[in-house]
Structure 1
Amino acid sequence: MAAAARTLAFAENELILCFHGPLLYEAKVLECDYWEVEENGEEGPHYLVHYQGWKAKWDEWVPESRVMKLTDENRRRQDDLAKSVVAKKAKTGKGKAVGTAVANGGEGSGEKRGTKRGRESTVDEKEELFLRRPEVKIPVPDFLKSQLVVDWETVTKHQKILSLPRKDNVMAVLNQFRLSVGPGNRKKATARDKDLCDETMEEIIHGLSIYFDKALGSILLYRFERQQYVEIKRKMPDTKMSDIEGQGCRHRSCEWRGGVG
């Protein structure tokens, strides 16, 4: 790939505007990197951003399409987006104060000077879809939050990663969960109840494993772990990551699903 194609439009420590949800927020670039092609990941320039005034736990890697220069014109767009969201929430009876900030986590949502009206229309449609999406909040226990902090420090500060594959992998834990809450442990359950419970449990286990396999390469890995991910996929191309990965990424999947507050 030509060197020109790897040019990064933003630099470390640069103040920017970054899309998060349906709004634009002022942020700071902490790190810059060019991601190579991965099966579940994205190729191209990515930035580790810190949203100004937010806790560090909200720092995240974002593609260049979500980042905008901190200019007067883009600040006006930031204000327009915030007003638009407030107006839409007011129509549905959910009017809440929305701070002046950034938005739209969808790819291709970030606009730059000279963008055509057709693209503006697409961005507005994505914002509306985002606002209408159903939300499910899952409470995450404090002990799990503490474990996530330990996990983060181990990988990012001490640069230590688990050896793979793991015996205590995601599927092994899900199967243990199935056995622990299965109808066989309910003495008063009827045969029909047991069949229904088995069927429902199979769907839950299947759904969680699919979620993990799809999300791992995109949002569950720290930068230091990505090379290991690429190598293990190359060595074991026919094996699902839920049969390989273990504790750390398993905990992170709970954080992303639950939206730790």
Structure 2
Amino acid sequence: MVEPLYKFQPGSKALAYHGPLVYEAKVLKVHEEGSPVVDIGDGKTEPLEANKIPAFLREKDTYLLHYKGWSSKWDEWVSSERIMVFNDDNLGLSRELRNARKKTIERLDSGCASPEDEILRKRKRVLKTRALLTKDGRALSRRKKPDVKTTYEVLLPLRPRLKCVLVDDWEIITRDRKLVDLQSTTPVSAILQAYLKHKLQTVSSEEYETVKEVVFGLRTYFDEAFCLRLMYRFERLQFIEEVNRIGAFNPSDIYGVEHLLRLLVTIPGLAAHTAMNAISLNVMMKNVEKISDFVDDNMESFSSMYCNASPQYDRLSRTQ
């Protein structure tokens, strides 16, 4: 929503999009298109070069915002497309967006399948039926008794805030076409190391060895599954650019908590068909649950920032 007729001043109250929602914010600084200085209020200015305004925003009117109640690490420069006048109409929009997100989360909690899930199920049923038919349409006789594999019902209780983080993360990247700022992340390797340090002080040496095995397995699987399972399409080009910039790397040393959560929610589906016995499976899932709780307890420290993708990136990413 663009409001070009309103001149925001440093110190003024505003509303602004951050991800899929609208939040109250305070304007800290203002840079007008073409100006060599930045207005910081009270008639004072700073040189443009002294401010880290993203290059693709320098040719627009931009505003440095601080979101009410948030850590200053979330302060960011935004264009007029994201900032709105603080009034009743825009406050109403903010409430509508929050209610819509709440319904999305409730659907996630209830386990309701999305339309995409239903389509996939139907396709699987069709493919299964076709597999049982010969070319002339007659049913194949089953000469072999199918192998019986043990499956378990595996659940991972995820705290409400983490569910919100996952929903927001999906919307910010796939709908708003933003990216996780890799310079702001606490890498997965560091998060897991912090968890190990925490457990070292709270469990027996025997239990700690089990914790280490689970953590090692998670990190290994994170690195191996990253490109196939843990990236959204819009993030592929960012990954390629990072490889070109620093060479081959382990994703767990670069990517942070958002991608770790994407991994954790896939674990139950994978574990349900594991060859592990029920006792070992239960031990593993208990540890995974404790890791997710540890992440939730420390989310303020682990959360990453998102950044706007440049128009060139947005264009190139559509070819990946």
TM-score bracket, shorter-length normalisation: 0.3 to 0.5
TM-score, with structure 1 as normaliser: 0.47
Report the structure number with the largest CA radius of gyration: 2
TM-score, with structure 2 as normaliser: 0.40
